[in-house]
Structure formats: C-alpha cells, structure tokens
Amino acid sequence: MKFKNFFKNNTRMTTENTLNNEIVDPTPIENNEIDSDTLDASIEERVEEISKEEQLTQDLASEKDKFLRLFAEFENYKRRTAKERIELFKTANQEVLLAMLPVLDDFDRALTEIKKTDDNILIQGVELIQEKLKSTLVSKGLEEVEIKAGDVFNADFAEAITQIPAASAKMKGKIVDVIERGYKLGDKIIRFPKVVIGN
C-alpha cells in the first residue's frame, strides 16, 4: 500500500516537472548516431567563416596602416614644402643682390678717391647715389656683416685672405684690416668679408 502511494506521487511529480520545465523532443535518437557528413559540413562552414573574419581583420589593419603612413608622409611633405617656401622667400633676391654687390664696392672705392679732391658738390652727389643704392638693397633684405679691425677672427663670419706680422701681441689672431665688406641676407651670409689677420 505504501509502495503504491509512493509510485503514484512520484509519477505525478515527474509529469509536473516535465510540463513545467521544458518540452522534450519526442523524436528519438537511434543509437546516439549523428550524421557525420552534416557535422563535417557545418564545421567546415564555421571554419571558413572564422578564416574570412580573420582575413577581413588583417585586411582592415593593413589598410589602416597604409592610410596612417600615407597621412604621415603627406604631413611631412606639407611641412617640408612650407619650410622650403619660407626659405625661398627669404633668399629670392639673393642672385640679384649678389650681382649688385660689386657695384656697391665700386661706389665705396670711387667715394674714397673723390674725397681726396676738393670738389664738395661731386662728393655730395656720389654720396647721395651711394646712399640711395644702399637703402634700396637694405629694403630688399641685404645687411652688412658687422666686422672691423681689432675684432677676433672667426672663420664662421669672415674669410682670411692673408696673414701679416702683428704690430703688437694684442693683435695676434685678430683682424688687422677689412679688404672687402661682407653681406648677409636674413641669417644667411651671401658674401663673407675678406680680411687680413695678424700673425
């Protein structure tokens, strides 16, 4: 009697649990066999999908790398061309100014010789023309390299054409005379001053 009650109760609980939890597929699997062809095909499809995803990821990373490199190259190109353009603007007049320097030197020599005469009108006329030429060249960016006798010789700013015995120990290694003036355009020296130094 007890056994029958237990069996009834247990059967009712099992039925209720089955109904409450999930519906079980009634089709039986015979001998636990799965179609191996279907399984192989689904595995192959999944492997292909994964390999395609990996390939797409690699392609995306490669294209992103190419883009970043191209962008960096373009930025470098822009910086370089901007720097070259600034340099070009600074030195655009260099050839013309270099061609005018001998004329300026000739004016200096002519004025030195004219000052030996007593003709003040001629001296004033030549001085006016020389100043006008100098001011025009200065307005185009030409500057004289500031160097004079008694300065210490520096090969970065002057060109020594000869050495002479120094008159005193203080003049050794210093500039004795400036033979030709030097000029610069901006920060660039376009003609070094030619000097004589004491030895």
Q: Mean of the pLDDT values across residues 149-155?
A: 89
Q: Indicate the pTM of the whole model.
A: 0.53
Question: Comparing C-alpha atoms, which of 199, 197, 85, 181 is closest to residue 142?
Answer: 181
The one-character DSSP state at 32 is G
Token pair for residue 49?
């999908």
Give 189: exposed, middle or buried? Use CB within 10 Å, 0-12, 13-18, 19+. middle
Q: What digits encode the pLDDT tens for the residues 63-106?
A: 999 999 999 999 999 999 998 887 777 767 788 889 999 999 99
Percent of all residues in the chain with a pLDDT value above 70, rounded to a whole number: 81
Q: Mean of the pLDDT values across residues 126-146?
A: 91
**Spacing of C-alpha 166 from chain mean position:** 48
Q: What is the C-alpha end-to-end distance of the chain, expressed in Å?
A: 137
